[in-house]
Amino acid sequence: MRRAGNSIRLYRNGVLHTQYNPLHPIGGNLWDLFLIPAFFFNPPAIRRVLVLGVGGGAVIRLLNRFVGPEEIIGVELNPVHIQVARRFFGIGRNQATLVCADAAEWIREYRGPPFDLIVDDIFGEESGEPERAVVADSSWFSQLTSRLSRKGILVLNFASLTELKSCAWFHDPDVQARFKAAFQLTKPQYENTVAAFLTEHATSRQLRQNLARVPGLDPDIKSTRISYRIRSI
């Protein structure tokens, strides 16, 4: 754990896993990109959320503050991360149900109701560099989409654009057929590419218009600190 002013940061093996500032929740960092896809539609029809790879829980804090879903389930392999999320990042039981489990096994065994938003941020490290812990192949896409609601949104974090382009979306027509729109979101200061896959048609213009309606998220107001680059894939 490290602090930089009011920001709380979680590192593991030299890799930054979570950053959150309760005074400025939209901080211009990577975790903003996990929140943004929730606003492709107005109002956001996000009642049930699944977060795979909780880290410190920054995305959970953001979703509770700006979306207010009825339920968030967070699945995290590392029990220390869960302790940190609760103690330092303020993820109480009213914020989310945190489950200590292997995300891939949890998904395979899950038989409950579907989710309106699934955020896949399952990462480990290799030689001090972040890398996905679950390959985004056809099987993984199939498992995730089977847990999505009819108008669900799937958000995946990739360590780089190259890693994104190696995922099943670019190589399997059956995966593409499950979604009616897909976008990549980036920030200049990060190598990561966050991909959003939507089961309903949407546009980036529509997203920007919807964000402008939310206090604290209007991209045209500099004080909001929200910024992103987006393009269809």
pLDDT tens across the length of the chain (233 residues): 556 555 666 655 555 666 666 656 687 788 899 999 999 998 778 999 999 999 889 899 999 999 999 999 999 999 998 998 898 888 999 999 999 999 999 999 999 999 999 999 998 766 667 778 899 999 999 999 999 999 999 999 999 999 999 999 999 999 999 999 999 999 988 899 999 999 999 999 999 999 999 988 988 887 788 889 999 99
Supply the pLDDT for residue 45: 86
> Which alpha helices (H) appear in 88-153, and where do they start and end?
103-109, 138-145
Supply the pLDDT for residue 125: 63
The Cα 85–Cα 94 span in angstroms is 13
Q: What domains are defined for the chain?
A: 25-232 (3.40.50.150)
The Cα 212–Cα 12 span in angstroms is 35
Supply the pLDDT for residue 18: 67
Supply the pLDDT for residue 69: 96
Distances (CA, A) of 200 to 4, 116, 154: 40, 12, 11
The Cα 70–Cα 49 span in angstroms is 8
Stated pTM of the model: 0.90
Q: Peptide bond before 25: cis, by omega within 30 degrees of 0?
A: no
The Cα 86–Cα 98 span in angstroms is 9
Supply the pLDDT for residue 220: 84
Supply the pLDDT for residue 100: 97
Supply the pLDDT for residue 138: 98
